[in-house]
Amino acid sequence: MTSPSGAPVEHALHPGAPNPFANSTRLRFDVASREHATLVVYDATGRELATLVDDTYLPGRYAVERDALGWAPGVYLVRLQIGDERMTRSLTLLR
């Protein structure tokens, strides 16, 4: 959801695209107010694999590409934390 000016009105983590994916996926997220954000990928056992984002962001829409080199096929969890809010999505890696 966006305001009339086009800025997001709430924080959001969008589904990865493509998902399932074979080599890389694009993760999009919205920041509604100036906040510190982290975007972390976990494997199915809960082990942290990669921190994709760890910075303060102004309101807007952002995206990050992630390749899966060295990752085994399976389901992964992506967690976005902005302030006190946490959002999680799953990704499926196919080979």
pLDDT recorded at residue 57: 96
Distance CA 69, CA 35 (A): 30
The answer to whether 59 touches 70, Cβ cutoff 8 Å, is: no
pLDDT recorded at residue 1: 56
Distance CA 14, CA 82 (A): 14
Rg over CA atoms, the chain:
14
Q: pLDDT per position in the chain (95 positions), as tens?
A: 555 567 799 999 999 999 999 999 999 999 999 999 999 999 999 999 999 999 999 999 999 999 998 899 999 999 999 999 999 999 999 97
Q: Is the peptide bond before 15 cis (omega within 30 degrees of 0)?
A: no
pTM of the model: 0.89
